[in-house]
Chains A and B, each alone.
Chain A
Amino acid sequence: MTHPGQVGLEILQLDAAAEIARIAAAIESAVLGTLRKKGVVVGISGGIDSAVVTALCARALGPGRVHGLFTPERHSSQDTLRLSRAVAAAAGVHAELFDITDALAAVGCYRRQDEAFRSAIPDYGEGWRAKIVLPSVLDGGYRVFSAVAISPDGREVRRRMSVESYLGLVAATNYKQRTRKMVEYYHAERLNYAVAGTPNRLEYDQGFFVKGGDGQADFKPIAHLYKSQVYQLAAALGIPDEVCRRPPTTDTYSMEQGQDEFYFSLPYEKMDLCLCAKNRGIPASALTQALGLSTEKIELVFKDIDGKRRTTRYQHLAPILVEDVPEISNHT
């Protein structure tokens, strides 16, 4: 029970059936109307967001107008492909597999990742697994990335990254999202389909996407929904239970990496509550009971939200022109 003056997860509750109907109508209008395409390509990752987008597109256009893509790579979790297949089967959509490992190796993604990790951890080599992590925002310090690696014999090493190795690692790793998007647009053009984007509101607001990668799409049907709300839709759409129970992961590095240790300050349900409250002008002091945190700690999260908006703003910007081209801008 929420105490007087306090708010909790109830502020994120929505009418799932009504929202599904609203989004389905918007998808139909966007794809068949505005975009004038015959269907949708959606990359299915085995995670909750792409599962919900797949089901929504199938609901909006019919399963026969949805083309799913599984694009695992060397570092994908062993569960990824199995869960992705379950998502496609539940939605009744056709999907095909294209392993992007060879493409990533050809552009040097893995080699460059290894070089970046080795520059931070000189022992890093064959058989090691690695990821990057951020300290908790609640510690009050600056959030700078560290490389974490495990040797083949189980020894864990953690080192702060230099700016060169950090930026090099991110750039190499982002080949993954950009390669996936290239494959999605290949199929979209082949079929005369549009490409669906799968970010939820937390990711969209906080810039947790790769420009030209998973940030690229023709429409983004759940970008207005907090992740907790995506889960509410998932339950109503019949998304497989195992997908709904899977902890959010980046599924990007050879060591498993939770979204909260890589990017967000708190687990998603708490981040959702902070973001939603901040957006509605609800003060940090009203969240202390639901989050189990002091007002001061919650204000650190609010500040982190503002910081991420500031540093990732460019990811949302369209290319900047010297002057407007009204013949084009008036029609977009």
Chain B
Amino acid sequence: MAALIHRPEYAGYDFGPEHPFSPARLEMLLDLFRSLGHEVAPIAAPAATREDILSVHDEAYVAMVEALDQGKPNLEADRFGLGTPDNPIFPGMDLATRWLVGGILHGARMLMTGKERRVLQLGGGLHHAQKDQAAGFCLYNDLAVAIQAFVAHGWRVAYLDIDLHHGDGVQNLFYENDRVLTLSIHESGHYLYPGTGHIQDLGSGSARGLSVNIPLEPFTEAGDYLEAFESVVPRALSWFSPDVLVVQAGADAHFADPLGDLALTTQAFQTLYQRIFALADAHAHGRVLLTLGGGYEAQVVARVWTILYLTFMGLPLPEHLPAVWMDHWRHLLGPGTGRELHDPASAMPDLPGREARTRRNRDVVNRLLDSVRTYWI
């Protein structure tokens, strides 16, 4: 009842050796699943078509991606967010992204036909891509294309974004759509990219109350994070009662991530994943479609997304990572990486300012709940 989607072409979504969004993470991950003794035969989905992409993106933007893909220089590129350090132009980027979009779209179709109830797309999660612009490592918004397909099928869709960064692209694309609830829990945009995702952004028109943001203080730890999640997400899903839950499962909220300032541990991610599947069972007919997302420290994403995969499959977690696998990937993992699957219990010391952060995080959640109360009835 659980399907994994991946194909070797996903490795083509590659902004170059200096870029953090490295496709080597996926290969390393699949190799780890296999090294742990699991038979992994992912489904290879067809690429999304141009029409699929146009279900959420402007034609002018798609045409620009295609032109730059063919090596045609264009001074207008930066107006579309292309050719920046975050989104360098690379040959084949149109098709490389359509492979990723095709994967999640295939997963969405398996859910709509009732063939599967849980689907994990091993890649993608391009939540920053806007209607007319690339942003934050994201070219085409794979999540939005899948959500749009569900909406066209007549389903009500809940979107949950646990990436470190605000899921601004998905939120913006459905900001006025009352068939889609978007929930994003992230490090506050006061400092971090993309600078959005405030509690006051609640959706508009008939979709007021259907954009929900939980921005957390930099250096927020697992306790606060999970408390905020529990205060908001179950309530929202229970009220909205979606037909399916779509999840962007970025792993960059981990304390060792080089781009962020949240302080989740592997243990916190395990709890989070268990809760997500339980909530999908309780409120979304058990239907859940997940992608990966951000996560820029190899040894972290290997461990965190392995926990995701094994929880997703209902398989037991090992205590240790296979030595053979570690030796093979040492160049990415770094010399100091230990063999334990989980972070050591002593990973986080007593951090200064913890009480003040907890108070501020609770204030934010209370303010959010106060402002959505009138809509969630």
- A and B: partners? no
Q: Give B contacts to A, CB under 8 Å.
A: none
Q: Give A contacts to B, CB under 8 Å.
A: none
